[in-house]
Structure 1
């Protein structure tokens, strides 16, 4: 079969200058090798967020567990049901025990008691009489009759000072007086006969009177050389001996009368009107812890403006020298006694800016009350207003409760 020469048509071409080529679908975009895929970025963000949330939850549970505990209590309350033990502990007992039930406390039931109204004070023992024996003249001691710590009677000679000069002056003055007396007698005779004037006689008589007065002064000076006990008492210690030269004002010894003794003390000014002469006070000697009864015999008319106290003095017989002058004593002055006093323990009374208060218990709840106090001691305080017999006053747990808190009285 003969081959026919056929002409193959050339492919059709498009002129780029006249007709644009048809648009084709763009090839799929290839990811940039330098940019991470978006799916990896989202996974990393979720991981960081989860770590932050976990850290916050850990901090909350570690350092702020209150909400968790509250949620647990709420769950317990729901589980226990209304009126159950958990509900009672979490709800009603929330105030008194911080959510753990009523606070156990101890109370004191107020009752009427006997109370002695007395004033306590500190005092000192004073001798009934006391004097420092001194020399009024200068000279040497020629005799010494002082026995230290021994009793002497009134007027007994204690010591004497050399008085030779005074004695000589007295003898001289006695001679002058004798002369002046003779002159006065002769002048009186002449006056009676009117040989002299009255003025001349008066001059002679005046000389006699003056000499007699000088003699009395010399005798008084001589008496100072012999020192005697002004009253009966007990002598103190001395450093003087025979031959010691003393000057005027030199202290030789002391003399004290210690039977009886005085008790010097002071009471607060508000009790000044309650103290009367004749009241009996109880005196406690700190050295021996023995008590003695003394009687008030003098009250100072003025209150001390510095200490605002009333000075008072009592006297004790001290027959056996029980109290020594200078000793420190405690004095209790009884002002009266009552049989219906209300007293509470000292720890139950709370001082405040406006007064005092106590915490009472009513229906298992704490209720504060304002009170007025009276006599107080180391253990109890008298309540004059604000309480009644039968009230229960807190003794413990005072710092842990607030008004309205539930408490449980310990048996």
Structure 2
């Protein structure tokens, strides 16, 4: 038996489902509107007439009686510090980094092979020019030298007899020349042996200070073997480079100031030589100065900072580095005129870590803003503080 659903019941259910969906959409719409209202109130509050600049009469009268001082808008004056431009002496200097070099430096090497028979190297101690440093076994050379001296005595006697016979015309001139040539050749060989024997005794080529060594008596050395170093450290050289645009301004005799990185002490030296060529890679010129170094203050190999003075200007205009604002088209500064900020375009010259030279755009007595630059705009009222 089939049961037939009543049509009134089906229609009632359909109406209930549609009403539920409409209620759901209504709740979603209300939630969205509430969220938008919250965002508007939280992040975009409405401005009052007073905040907008005194749009109402009460706001206008309040500004006149007890409002904040300032211009028509009622804004406060921005406190700033200024630098009054004055004419000063300016030394045009080039800052560079340099290295200390020994006045003379050489690696002591052996020119012949053999065992060291005596060693007079005192590490780190000064030596005089010509002082014996070490000797190498030269017994064989000395034996050959004595042998050659005996040969020369024999050849000299033969040459003397041949000359007597030539004077009496008992021999030809050719026979005498052969004997004389034999004597001369033996004398040349003797000089060669003496030169070789001198290489067995290594002496200091100049006054200086010896370096460290690992050689000892009995060490076998070969030609070219490094034994120690010798450096002349009084005076010392300072080598540094300057940009090629300054090469025409550097002269021998120019004073330089050097600062030792280790001790932070300053010393005065003078330029004595310039490389005649510009480095094609770095576009710099190498310069060398000399310092007496009487107390061994500077050591070869040390790193130093160099300041080279090129020229001096008596009436230069300078401002603090923080007052100059770099722009896409150049540089500008903010000045104070009649209590307001006025920007000015300027051209710069020599600069240091604290000051920048102004070559155009400012005059003596101008007040340049050095603090609060980011908080002011052209035309803003400012208050100069100490």
Q: Which residue of 2 aligns with 1:65?
A: 44
Measured against aligned partners, the alpha-carbon deviations of 1:176-208 in whole angstroms (never above 9, x if no partner) come to 222322333333333334444333332332222
Q: What's the CA shift string for 1:45-97, capped at 9, x where partnerless?
A: xx99x96997598257426636x216564583222466862899799576xxx
> Alignment partner of 1:359: what SS?
strand
Contact 2:275 2:287 in 1 (8 A): yes
Q: 1:195 to 1:115 in 2, by over 3 A?
A: same
Name the count of aligned residue pairs: 363
| Unaligned stretches of 5+ residues in structure 1 | 1-32, 37-43
Offset at residue 389 of structure 1 (A) = 1.4
Q: For residues 83 and 212 of structure 2, what CA distance do their matches in structure 1 show?
A: 58
Aligned residue in 2 for 1:337: 312
Deviation of 1:337 after TM superposition, in Å, equals 3.4
Match of 1:23 in 2: none
SS of the residue aligned with 1:76? Answer: coil
Aligned runs of 1:374-385 on 2, under 5 Å? 374-385=349-360
- Quote the residue 1:222 is aligned against: 197
Q: Do the aligned residues in 1 keep the contact of 2:54 with 2:60 (CA within 8 Å)?
A: no
Q: Offset at 1:220?
A: 0.1
- The answer on whether the counterparts of 1:262 and 1:315 sit within 8 Å (CA) in structure 2 is yes
Query: Is contact 1:80-1:86 (8 Å) kept?
Result: no
* Pair 1:276 & 2:251 matched: yes
Q: Which residue is 1:77 aligned to? A: 55
Counterpart Cα distance in 2 of 1:392 and 1:93: 25
Distance apart, 1:378 and its partner CA: 1.8
Partner of 2:6: none
Superposition map of 1:87-166 within 5 A: 100-166=75-141
> 370, 379, 382: which is aligned to 1:395?
370
Cα 1:138–1:107 change in 2 (3 A) is same
State the shift of 1:168 in Å.
Answer: 1.1
Kept after mapping to 2: 8 A contact 1:121/1:332 = yes
Taking structure 1 as the reference length, the TM-score comes to 0.78
Q: 1:71 to 1:253 in 2, by over 3 A?
A: same
Contact in 1 for aligned 2:334/2:343 (Cα 8 Å)? yes
Query: Offset at 1:256?
Result: 1.4
Whether the 8 Å CA contact 2:241–2:286 is kept in 1: the answer is: yes
1:315 equivalent to 2:290? Answer: yes
In structure 1, how many angstroms separate the alpha carbons of the residues matched to 2:354 and 2:114? 64
* Counterpart-to-counterpart distance in 1, 2:35 and 2:124: 91
Q: CA deviation at 1:336?
A: 3.6
CA distance in 2, matches of 1:93, 1:75: 9
Question: Could you tell me which of 207, 218, 232 is aligned with 1:243?
Answer: 218
1:304 corresponds in structure 2 to 279
SS of the equivalent of 2:54 reads: helix
Conserved 8 A contact 1:356-1:372? yes
RMSD: 3.3
Say which one has the larger Rg.
1
One of 337, 347, 358 as aligned partner of 2:333: 358
Match of 1:188 in 2: 163
Contact 2:109–2:223 under 8 Å retained in 1 = yes
Shift of the alpha carbon at 1:286?
2.3
Q: Higher mean Cα deviation, 287-296 or 68-77?
A: 68-77
Distance 2:296 2:36 in 1: 86
CA distance in 2, matches of 1:75, 1:122: 59
Indicate how the Cα distance of structure 1 residues 385 and 168 shifts in structure 2: closer, same or farther if over 3 A, else same: same
CA separation of 1:159 and 1:104: change in aligned 2, threshold 3 A: same
Alpha-carbon distance in structure 2 between the residues aligned to 1:64 and 1:133: 81
Unaligned runs of 5+ in 2: 1-10, 16-22
